[in-house]
């Protein structure tokens, strides 16, 4: 029996969905511990084609596995129903035997988005606008509506909605909301089983469990670049409270893009190429890499390099379609993320999964940030003071790029020498072994195995 936690090392969108999908074959249960439909994973398989997942763990694409939406997720029932109907259209089996919804999970009710929009107008975090923060804020405020509230007489649900209406000056009809949420849950019950996860994990004592986090450590509410973070614990510590009942965590797999890092929304980003403002009009499918761009890249132009990574990496939000901010790989941040989440001294094992290696094919040079400098001094570590991050200068190791095609390569010895060097450089700098390297979106485009290599 093994319990493995897969987490994002930087600001999310590292490709965790793909890694979880590849690993799921060796596990019985795949459970997610945080986030909501702010998250978006795209998984590509020969059987189902391109599938976008938001709330449902990536294990759902494997027959005979059980996927669990943990109590730490916040669930918009309408989004969940849409997602499941989308999966059914692609002939993915979703049944009460294959999908479990925690009865303790908090709901996102339709008006949470309006509350968030009002807050966002003054705070400018650049949220996904899904009402995620509102659901997570109601939780410690003890007025959050939960799945459980739809299963009893409904009194507490109505009471909570009345409080929301009063405190946020909204005109709401609690009875109507209760009815519509119950109607949605009734439809969902054809596809999923509502459970107490403590009882569920207890009953499945000998199972191999793969835990999936949404977003990344630098967006974690406690560890991240506060206040430019999401509202949940994206680092694997969150799995213990977000998937109540898991026995322990044996292994940690941190997922990061090999040659670069992305961030969506506002907040500091030391290795950013260009600025958030400069890319605001970039749209998927409307940009292409020109000979002029390549010339600029050779001269080290940051905007052209960011465009190269954005276009080739498809770096536009799965959930919001916003262009993602791109920057060079940041090992100061990555080291911090592992220190937070699963330090290499952990006995069970901490490993790296590298994604999007192929995106860098054709780049003449790849820069990897190995230190932050402020004034004439190097910082000893990733600073807890978010403001300080805006002032640091990244110090880069310049690695040679490669011109060969790595897309779909499935053997390490078939990678160009410079690509191997990049993987080894990341591994040696972090002192964490590489477990898997992804060379394309398809499930098959991967090197490494259950044992690493």
Catalytic sites, residue numbers? 13, 41
**Binding status of residue 441 toward ligand IMP by CB under 6 A:** no
For ligand IMP, the closer CB: 341 or 406: 341
Which of residues 32, 130, 307, 325 is near ligand IMP by CB under 6 A? Answer: 130
Rounded to a whole number of angstroms, the minimum distance from the CB of residue 9 to ligand IMP is 13
Nearest Cα to 218, choosing from 382, 53, 54, 398?
382
Rounded to a whole number of angstroms, the minimum distance from the CB of residue 432 to ligand IMP is 22
Rounded to a whole number of angstroms, the minimum distance from the CB of residue 179 to ligand IMP is 28
Residue number of the CB closest to ligand IMP reads 265
**Binding status of residue 125 toward ligand IMP by CB under 6 A:** yes
For ligand IMP, the closer CB: 307 or 324: 324
For ligand IMP, the closer CB: 242 or 245: 242
Calpha distance 414→90 (Å, rounded): 34
For residue 14, say if its preceding peptide bond is cis, omega within 30 degrees of 0: no
Which of residues 20, 39, 244, 359 is near ligand IMP by CB under 6 A? Answer: 39
**Binding status of residue 13 toward ligand IMP by CB under 6 A:** yes
For ligand IMP, the closer CB: 17 or 401: 17
From residue 231 to residue 250, what is the string marking binding to ligand IMP with x (rule CB under 6 A)? x-------------------
Nearest Cα to 201, choosing from 251, 151, 249?
249
Rounded to a whole number of angstroms, the minimum distance from the CB of residue 172 to ligand IMP is 22
Strand 29-32 relative to strand 66-69, pairing: parallel
**Binding status of residue 265 toward ligand IMP by CB under 6 A:** yes
Q: Which residues contact 119 (CB under 8 A, 6 or more apart)?
A: 133, 134
DSSP H or E run through 190: none
Question: Structure tokens of 375?
Answer: 């004034």
Nearest Cα to 250, choosing from 4, 436, 1?
4
Q: Is 424 exposed, middle or buried (0-12, 13-18, 19+ CB in 10 A)?
A: exposed
Rounded to a whole number of angstroms, the minimum distance from the CB of residue 49 to ligand IMP is 22
Which of residues 208, 215, 271, 341 is near ligand IMP by CB under 6 A? Answer: 215
Question: Structure tokens of 353?
Answer: 């999964």
For ligand IMP, the closer CB: 133 or 238: 133
Handedness of CA 127, 130, 134, 138 (dihedral sign): negative
**Binding status of residue 84 toward ligand IMP by CB under 6 A:** no
Stretch touching ligand IMP by CB under 6 A, among 59-67, 76-84, 119-127, 383-391? 119-127
Q: Which residues contact 336 (CB under 8 A, 6 or more apart)?
A: 217, 381, 382
**Number of shown-chain residues binding ligand IMP (CB under 6 A):** 21
Which of residues 24, 132, 249, 273 is near ligand IMP by CB under 6 A? Answer: 132
For ligand IMP, the closer CB: 241 or 365: 241
Which of residues 20, 264, 350, 447 is near ligand IMP by CB under 6 A? Answer: 264
Q: 294-319 burial string, b = 16+ CB within 10 Å, else e?
A: eebbeeebbbbbbbbbbbbbebbbeb
For ligand IMP, the closer CB: 38 or 208: 38
Which of residues 58, 71, 128, 195 is near ligand IMP by CB under 6 A? Answer: 128
Q: Which residues contact 278 (CB under 8 A, 6 or more apart)?
A: 303
**Binding status of residue 52 toward ligand IMP by CB under 6 A:** no
Nearest Cα to 400, choosing from 418, 375, 412?
418
Which of residues 86, 96, 126, 174 is near ligand IMP by CB under 6 A? Answer: 126
Give strand pairing partners of 267: none
**Binding status of residue 219 toward ligand IMP by CB under 6 A:** yes
From the CB of residue 147, how many other CB atoms can be counted at a distance below 10 Å? 22
Asked if 68 and 29 touch (Cβ cutoff 8 Å), the reply is yes
For ligand IMP, the closer CB: 219 or 432: 219
Which of residues 9, 12, 361, 443 is near ligand IMP by CB under 6 A? Answer: 12
Nearest Cα to 335, choosing from 273, 394, 280, 382?
382
Binding site for ligand IMP (CB under 6 A): 11-13, 38-40, 125-128, 130, 132-133, 214-215, 219, 228, 230-231, 264-265
């Amino acid at each position: 029996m093994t319990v493995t936690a897969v987490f994002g090392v930087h600001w999310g969108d590292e490709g965790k969905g793909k890694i979880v999908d590849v690993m799921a074959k060796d596990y019985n249960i795949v459970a997610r511990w945080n986030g909501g439909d702010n998250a978006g994973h795209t998984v590509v398989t020969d059987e189902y084609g391109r599938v976008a997942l938001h709330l449902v763990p990536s294990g759902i694409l494997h027959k005979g596995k059980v996927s669990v939406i943990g109590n730490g997720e916040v669930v918009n029932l309408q989004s969940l129903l849409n997602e499941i109907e989308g999966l059914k259209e692609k002939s993915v089996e979703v049944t009460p035997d294959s999908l479990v919804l925690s009865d303790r999970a908090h709901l996102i009710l339709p008006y949470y988005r309006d509350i968030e929009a009002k807050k966002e107008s003054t705070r400018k975090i650049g949220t996904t606008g899904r009402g995620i923060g509102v659901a997570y804020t109601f939780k410690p405020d003890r007025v959050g509506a939960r799945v459980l509230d739809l299963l009893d007489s409904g009194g507490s649900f109505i009471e909570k909605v009345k409080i929301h209406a009063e405190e946020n000056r909204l005109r709401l009809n609690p009875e109507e909301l209760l009815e519509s949420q119950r109607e949605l849950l009734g439809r969902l019950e054809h596809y999923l089983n509502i459970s107490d996860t403590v009882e569920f994990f207890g009953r499945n004592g000998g199972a191999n469990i793969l835990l999936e986090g949404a977003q990344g450590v630098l967006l974690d509410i406690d560890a991240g670049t506060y206040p430019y973070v999401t509202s949940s614990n994206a680092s694997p510590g969150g799995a213990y409270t977000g998937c109540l009942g898991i026995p322990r965590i044996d292994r940690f797999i941190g997922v990061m893009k090999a040659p670069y890092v992305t961030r969506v929304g506002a907040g500091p980003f030391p290795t950013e190429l260009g600025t958030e403002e400069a890319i605001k009009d970039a749209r998927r499918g409307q940009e292409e890499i020109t000979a002029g761009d390549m010339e600029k890249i050779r001269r080290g132009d940051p905007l052209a390099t960011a465009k190269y990574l954005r276009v080739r990496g498809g770096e536009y939000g799965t959930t919001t379609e916003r262009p993602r901010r791109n920057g060079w790989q940041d090992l100061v941040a990555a080291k911090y993320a592992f220190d937070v989440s699963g330090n290499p001294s952990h006995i069970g094992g901490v490993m790296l999964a590298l994604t999007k290696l192929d995106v860098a094919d054709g780049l003449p040079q790849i820069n990897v940030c190995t230190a932050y400098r402020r004034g004439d001094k190097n910082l000893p570590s990733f600073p807890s003071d978010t403001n300080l991050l805006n002032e640091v200068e990244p110090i880069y190791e310049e690695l040679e790029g490669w011109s060969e095609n790595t897309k779909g390569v499935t053997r390490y010895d078939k990678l160009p020498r410079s690509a191997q060097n990049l993987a080894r450089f990341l591994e040696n700098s972090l002192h964490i072994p590489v477990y898997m390297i992804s060379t394309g979106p398809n499930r098959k485009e991967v090197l490494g195995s259950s044992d690493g290599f």
